[in-house]
Chain A
Amino acid sequence: MTNRPHRQPPPSRVALALVLALAGALAGCGPAATRADDAGALASVSDHLDDASSAVATAELAVRARAAGRLQAVTADATVGDAVEAATGAVHGIGTLVIAAEEADGVRGEALSAASAAVGPVAAARTWLGQPPSPADDVLRALDDAASGLDDASGAVEQAEARARAQTEASAERAAS
């Protein structure tokens, strides 16, 4: 122990330390919105594609039920309206992800195209519901095509995700050795 009197840090330093701690905490929270690594980001892309596929399948079931006279027009409209929101949300989700690696970013671009292409048929299904009764064949065909596009994109994302994970594991092993 020394005989020097204990000095309190000046209030301005305490405030600075608090601000830095807060900024650090906020900076730490930031990457959670995008994911720290490419494999994680691709997993997010995969989740959003699942949401888009779910929206397309929802619209398809609603259109089929309406065409068969098993669902009221207003209820089908509300259901497909929610599906449009879900499909749009998936496009927004994929579009705002940041991926560093060029190859993985290319896969993300393809996924974004597939998700964007799915919004049109889902919205068209809602338009069909608002019109006088007509055959639903064209609407259903467009939804099927959108679903196929999303399936292809999901497959590509899963493969890219597996590759990214393998690379991450290999890097970790090299670093450990």
Chain B
Amino acid sequence: MKSRLLTVALGVLTAIGGFLDAGDLVTNAVVGSRFGLSLAWVVAVGVLGICVFAHMSGKVAAVSGRATFEIIRERLGPRTAGLNLVASLAVTVLTLIAEVGGIALALQLASSVDHRLWVPVAALAVWLVLWRVKFNVMENVTGLLGLALVGFAVAVFLLGPDWGDLGAQLLQQVPVQESAAVYWYFAVALFGAAMTPYEVFFFSSGGVEDGWTPRDLATSRLNVLVGFPLGGLLSIAIAACAAIVLLPARIRVDSMSQLILPISEAGGTLLVAVIIVGLVAATFGAALETALSTGYTLSQYLGWSWGKFRRPAQAPRFHLAMILALVVAVGVLMTNVDPIAVTEYSVVFSAVALPLTYLPILVVANDPEYMGEHVNGRAMNLLGTVYLVILVVAALAAIPLMIATEAGG
């Protein structure tokens, strides 16, 4: 019998990967070093939103025994689902590129060997795990190792901040040295980062991989309620570390290595080592998630056999899609593009693709043909609709804000 700790591993893996991937790690630190905690409310809004839609998505998987994307194609037809596929796949591959780069950057912190040399090694390691390691082993190991990032929360306490001052930042609006447009650009970026589309597709497909049934609805709910809020809390802890140490030093975060500075001040070499393990695990977990999401969405749309519960020979096109995505990621990173910049852009484009991803989930979760007695209740539909309005506003504002602020200046 699985222990209670391991039953929430999928939620922890999804949340660690979704909330704390390479771009989120840096975006949260950037926001903390420029705005203090004044944008923490966006993380809270994002956590609630992703909980709402991941819950629907997990419920669809548990009740129907099928992944969300399969049903979206069947229910809405190939054209609408195709639009959804193109939008989410583009963002997911962009994110995969950033994650492979993120693993390389994290390994650079542990070795001082240039990240460009780590890129092929990282991609090869991701492929080997996807090819050979069982889904439950993969989710448990990366999810639990990713918990090392709790070190950021520990660091906040060890730094001994002025809690009143930190609390006051929560209520602060636009800091004097920043413009309103830049503030809202980062608000949209944080929101997009929190609600990245691949998270829900990975979560629902992972539920099918784990063999969820209607009896596992409580497990799905537990995963959502533990995993995503945990990811959100750690995001705020990263921003708080940056706000306490980097903001007063006038350090503008532009690399992953700067995340380490508050940690070294708080807990010395031991905590730094723990955080580096967490960074490698989180980016590795996110790379696995995004590569799998690429295979899941393509296979589910095109009707190929998919899943890690099948041997690679039984799902060859599913594995080929993931291999091709990894090859693209390595190819792009080898052009010397900055992985952090790639992720920052992917987060903004993710905001643009959000309505296309989440509207179909809401539609499917309300279809009694698939959901039977488990269709959404009124409260869930109200929350879902409110979030869809927010998603549309964020999607419309993302690109103009990016242009107006020169991507945050």
A positions within 8 Å CB-CB of B? 47, 50-51, 53-54, 57-58, 60-62, 65, 69-75, 77-79, 81-82, 86
* Measured CA separation A74–B276 after assembly (Å): 12
Contact residues of B between 218 and 268, Cβ < 8 Å to A? 245, 249-252, 254-255, 257-258, 260-261, 264-265, 268
The reply to whether A65 and B261 contact each other, CB–CB distance below 8 Å, is yes
- Determine if B385 is an interface residue (Cβ-Cβ < 8 Å): no
The reply to whether A74 and B258 contact each other, CB–CB distance below 8 Å, is no
- Determine if B269 is an interface residue (Cβ-Cβ < 8 Å): yes
What are 21 A-B contacts with C-beta separation under 8 Å? A54-B252, A61-B249, A61-B265, A65-B261, A70-B268, A71-B260, A71-B264, A71-B272, A74-B111, A75-B109, A75-B110, A75-B257, A75-B272, A78-B112, A78-B257, A79-B109, A79-B255, A79-B258, A79-B261, A82-B254, A82-B257
Partner of A82, one of B245, B258, B273, B276: B258
Given contacts A62-B261, A75-B109, A77-B112, are A82 and B269 in contact (CB under 8 A)?
no
Q: Chain B binding site: helix, strand, loop or mixed by DSSP?
A: helix
* Measured CA separation A54–B276 after assembly (Å): 22
Interface contacts (Cβ under 8 Å), in number, total 73
A residues within 8 A CB of B265?
Answer: 61, 65, 70
- Determine if B409 is an interface residue (Cβ-Cβ < 8 Å): yes
- Determine if B108 is an interface residue (Cβ-Cβ < 8 Å): yes
Closest 7 pairs between A and B when the two form their complex, measured CB to CB: A74-B112, A79-B257, A82-B255, A71-B264, A65-B264, A54-B252, A70-B268
The reply to whether B260 and A79 contact each other, CB–CB distance below 8 Å, is yes
19 extra A-B contacts, CB within 8 A, seeds A51-B252, A60-B249, A71-B272:
A47-B409, A50-B250, A51-B254, A53-B250, A54-B250, A58-B251, A58-B258, A61-B261, A70-B272, A71-B260, A71-B269, A72-B272, A75-B109, A75-B112, A75-B264, A78-B108, A79-B109, A82-B255, A82-B258
* Measured CA separation A54–B242 after assembly (Å): 13
Partner of A74, one of B110, B251, B255: B110
* Measured CA separation A53–B326 after assembly (Å): 37
* Measured CA separation A53–B246 after assembly (Å): 12
Q: Number of B interface residues at 8 Å Cβ cutoff, please give it.
A: 24
* Measured CA separation A72–B254 after assembly (Å): 21
The reply to whether A61 and B251 contact each other, CB–CB distance below 8 Å, is yes
B residues within 8 A CB of A77?
Answer: 112
A residues within 8 A CB of B264?
Answer: 65, 70-71, 75
The reply to whether A58 and B250 contact each other, CB–CB distance below 8 Å, is no
In the assembled complex, how far is the CB of residue B341 from the closest CB belonging to chain A, in whole angstroms?
A: 12
Contact residues of B between 350 and 409, Cβ < 8 Å to A? 409
* Measured CA separation A165–B257 after assembly (Å): 37
B residues within 8 A CB of A70?
Answer: 264-265, 268-269, 272
* Measured CA separation A33–B245 after assembly (Å): 33
Q: Which of chain B's residues has its CB closest to A43's CB? A: B409
* Measured CA separation A66–B46 after assembly (Å): 37
Partner of A50, one of B110, B252, B273: B252
Q: Which of chain A's residues has its CB closest to B409's CB? A: A47
In the assembled complex, how far is the CB of residue B111 from the closest CB belonging to chain A, in whole angstroms?
A: 6
A residues within 8 A CB of B251?
Answer: 54, 57-58, 61
Q: Which of chain B's residues has its CB closest to A82's CB? A: B255
* Measured CA separation A7–B269 after assembly (Å): 78
A residues within 8 A CB of B108?
Answer: 78
A residues within 8 A CB of B112?
Answer: 73-75, 77-78, 81
Q: Write out, one digit per residue, whether chain B residues 118-137 have a CB within 8 A of any chain A CB (1) or not (0).
A: 00000000000000000000
The reply to whether A69 and B269 contact each other, CB–CB distance below 8 Å, is yes
The CB with the most chain A CB atoms within 10 A, among B109, B250, B261, is that of B261
* Measured CA separation A44–B249 after assembly (Å): 21
